[in-house]
Structures are given as C-alpha cells and as structure tokens.
Amino acid sequence: MRLLIAGGGTGGHLYPGIAVARAWLRGGPERRVLFVGTASGIEARVLPREELPLETISAAGIVGRSPGQQIGAAFLMARGLAQSLGIIGRFRPHVVLGVGGYASAPAVAAAWLRRRPIVLLEENVVPGMTNRLLGRLARRVALAFPGAAPYFPLGKAVETGLPLRGEFGGEPARPVSFWEGPLRVLIFGGSQGARALNEAVIEALPLLGERARAMRFVHQTGEADLERTREAYAGAGAEAEVAAFFYDMADRFRNAHLAVARAGASTAAELASMGLPAVLIPLPSATHGHQEANARHLAGRGAARMVLQRDLSGASLAALLKEFDEGRHLLAEMSRRAREAARPDASEAVAVLCKEAARAA
C-alpha cells in the first residue's frame, strides 16, 4: 500500500508526518511512502537526513498578503495543483494524508480530483481555514486535541493525539533530576527561531546576574539572532550551548528542567510526551490564535505557564526563571501533569486511519 503525505514548511507540520510515515512503514515491506512539499520548506533539508523520499511542488500562502502577492500565490498554487496531479498519477497512492502547510492544499485538492481517499491531520485546538475547507473532502480528520471536533463535518473527526517522532514517544528516562544541580533551561522558538524569545533572553541575562552564571542554557535561536545571542551569554558569563537549529531535540528535552518556547502543536505534544515543564509564549500572529489555544490547553492542565507576547520582557522572564530555580517542586508537579496529557500511541492511530480509508475506497 502506498501513502502520500502532503505538507510541511515548518517542523510543526513536517515532524508529525514523519512519525506517521514511520508507523506506516512498520506495517510491512509492501508499504511505501512519498512526501510532497516545497523546496523552500524544512522538509527539503530534513527528509534526506531521514532517508524519506520527497517530491517538491510550487506553493505559497494566500491569507494575510497584499492583493498583488495573493495573485502571485494563486498562480503558484495552480501550478502546484498541476504538479500534484502528475505526482499522484505516477505514485498512485492508496491514500493521501494532509499534514498542513502550503503544499498540503494543492496536493489534497489533487487527491480529491484523482478520487483518492484523503485523511487530514489537524494539529491545533483551533483549526486553520484551509483544513476547515479541506475537511469537507476528507474521509477522516485526525485530531490532536478534542476541542477541534466542532470545526469539521459530523462523524469525520477522530481524536488520535498528535503523532510524534519515535525519540519523543514512550516513557523516556530523565537523566537530570528536578531536585539536583543547576537549573537547565531549553529555549527554542520552533524550527525557525523566534525573535521575541531571543530578545527576552538577552534582556533577562543581566537581570539574573550571578544566578545566570549558576544556570545552564541550551538555546535554538534561528539564523538571524545566532551571533548576538551567543555574545549575550558570553557577556553574562553564563554557560550556554547556542545554535541556529538542533537536530537532536529529544536529547535536549531529556536533559532540561524547563523549556521556554512557542506553543505550536508539535511543541505542545512533545513537551507533554517528555514531561518537560514549560513557559509558553504563543505566536501572536498565528492564524486564528491557535498557538494561544494550544498554550491554554497545557496551562489549564497545570503542565505549563503561558505568557502572552505583549507581557513578555526580560524582567518577566527573569522573574519566572528565578521562581522555578527556587521552587523545583513546581517543576516536578508540572512534569507529572504534562505526562498525563500525552498520547504516545498517536502515530499508530493515524496510520490505522489511513489504512482504513484506503481499504474503504
């Protein structure tokens, strides 16, 4: 059986797709998988490392752009639709899984035109408009969060949890104790970094003073802020590993006491799976406020603290780091509550939905 996985662009869309691909391929040697994405998305550099096949199409976002940009994006999407029709004709998938991102829409539309069964993966509490529309074409919609069900046609939505890469699944051992040693802080803004988080850290370091020198930091900055963030840690005398991007994030999670991060769906699910407490700063420009909804979901379960970006500053971040450094019992309790929100079987559940959709075709 052949599965085509459409979408990507960011890690939040791509990595759940990779997790489903692995689960699908475990089903037997006759199983095959193909990703459809864009040459500019994260999939172009990650999938070769994962030894998973990728074909690229033209695609661009339309919402929130100027009229001229929307016209250009519409042409790209039309070209992407034609390219997707060709890819589906050659690969002949038994089922198509849309995971979100610019490439998802033309590929899923092509699957519908080719009369291939469609499964969508909705990663967020509040779905974007594209998935709401594509949901009408899908056989099933796999939900990371139950709160998304009312946005889709009755009977199509199935709560599966969000698929995670194998290294994030199960019950991973935690090499560092919450009660011992320096506070270990992992800071990341998703696969592309986050300027607001980087700025807050740079401002917080001098306010922490001697306490910063007693902590240990791992910071994924994105390319733009890499050097000046490194300089800020060096100037504060703080021990820090700073990089534009880390490929081994599961190990970083295991060796941290606390994360400071955006609130994308994959991030929220990975934090829960690894039992890592977090300070979540939702991206304010995220469509339909989905990151804020994700953050509220974890914060409401006692697994995270949410700080809106308008309230984020060096002073507010420094105060939180001080609070958690002095109150390690808070971290231990947040970790327990995070684990309660985890769904370690999500990858297999989505793969089963895809198999069922293919067999029902």
Alpha helices in the chain (DSSP H): 11-25, 43-50, 67-91, 104-113, 129-134, 195-208, 210-214, 226-236, 249-254, 265-274, 290-300, 314-326, 328-340, 346-360
Name the 3-class secondary structure at 96: strand
Residues 6+ apart with CB under 8 A from 180: none
- Report CA 1 to chain centroid distance, whole Å: 27
For residue 97, which of 50, 53, 58, 142 has the smallest C-alpha distance? Answer: 142
Residue located via tokens 């104790």: 177
34/46 Cα distance (integer angstroms): 14
Phi/psi of residue 96, nearest 5 degrees: -120, 130
Binding-site positions for UDP-N-acetyl-alpha-D-glucosamine read: 10-12, 124, 165, 191, 291
Question: Sign of torsion, CA 123 129 131 136?
Answer: positive
Answer yes or no: are the C-beta atoms of 68 and 90 closer than 8 Å.
Answer: no
- Taking CA 328 as the corner, what is the angle to CA 327 and CA 333, rounded to the nearest 5 degrees? 105
d(CA 222, CA 190): 9
Give CA–CA dist 12/23, Å, rounded: 18
CB of 244 within 8 A of CB of 229?
A: no
Residue 93 and residue 1 in contact, taking contact as beta carbons nearer than 8 Å: no
* Binding-site annotation: residue ranges: 10-12, 124, 165, 191, 291
